[in-house]
Amino acid sequence: MALSRALIVALLTATIFPTISMATDFIVGDGKGWTVGFDYQTWAANKVFHVGDKLIFEYSTGEHNVFKVNGTDFRNCTVPAASQGLTSGEDVIVLETPGRKWYLCGVGDHCQNGQKLFVNVLPSETQAPSPSPLSSVLPVTVPRSPSPAPWSSPSSSPVLSKYRWVPRKLIAMFQP
């Protein structure tokens, strides 16, 4: 009996709660680094960026820089004040919030020649889990009386009957 309870707990944990993952470090442009003549949109297209991930811009100091800009400045290759640029040659940007992020090189016509990057950052995989499929099936209020739950009988609902074993504390975790 103890083994079957442990198995149930393990299965619940594995299916209801998301996998905790570590942040990913992305070297922008991979082996090419941050340079002119590279298609950064194609590079970013097959990657998924999350809050907590890092963008690492590698380039020869003095040849390039990195500016974080808004969408309009990105489209127009408008370079902000030089004091806002990153110039170390190994600039690390931590993606701290979800949403759209735009970066460009402010040297000469580098941006016009494609040295710019757009990424869409998703919420962290380690943030609180969103409601699971169980929450859309289970009732919003849990009966507190000793009377049987409305889904305890297989005849009451074929969908809800297979969830009759879910503990009330677990149900309460998924209520708003």
In this structure, the answer to whether residues 108 and 138 fall within a common structural domain is no
Q: Are 20 and 125 in contact (CB under 8 A)?
A: yes
- Reply yes or no on whether the pLDDT at 173 is more than 60: no
**Across 147-152, average pLDDT:** 48
In this structure, the answer to whether residues 114 and 163 fall within a common structural domain is no
Collapsing DSSP states into helix, strand and coil, what is residue 82? helix
pLDDT for residue 52: 96
User: Does a structural domain hold residue 13?
Assistant: no
pLDDT for residue 11: 44
Q: Percentage of the chain surpassing pLDDT 90?
A: 55
In this structure, the answer to whether residues 114 and 39 fall within a common structural domain is yes
Instruction: Report the run of H or E that residue 74 belongs to, with start and end.
Output: helix 71-76
pLDDT for residue 106: 96
**What is the Cα–Cα distance from 7 to 165, expressed in whole angstroms?**
14
User: Does a structural domain hold residue 155?
Assistant: yes
- Reply yes or no on whether the pLDDT at 117 is more than 90: yes
- Count of domains forming the chain: 2
pLDDT digits (tens, 9 = 90+) for 123-143: 987 554 444 444 444 444 444
- CATH number for the domain harbouring residue 103: 2.60.40.420
Q: What is the pTM of this model?
A: 0.61
- Count CB neighbours of 106 within 10 A: 22
Q: Are 149 and 42 in contact (CB under 8 A)?
A: no
In this structure, the answer to whether residues 33 and 113 fall within a common structural domain is yes
User: Does a structural domain hold residue 5?
Assistant: no
Pairing of strands 67-69, 49-50: unpaired
Determine the structural domain holding residue 60 and report its residue range. 25-122
In this structure, the answer to whether residues 96 and 38 fall within a common structural domain is yes
- Reply yes or no on whether the pLDDT at 8 is more than 50: yes
pLDDT digits (tens, 9 = 90+) for 101-110: 999 999 999 9
In this structure, the answer to whether residues 70 and 157 fall within a common structural domain is no
* 3-7, 15-19, 49-53: the lowest-pLDDT one: 15-19
In this structure, the answer to whether residues 117 and 57 fall within a common structural domain is yes
pLDDT digits (tens, 9 = 90+) for 48-100: 999 999 999 999 999 999 999 999 999 999 999 888 899 999 999 999 999 99
Residue-averaged pLDDT of the chain = 76
pLDDT for residue 40: 97
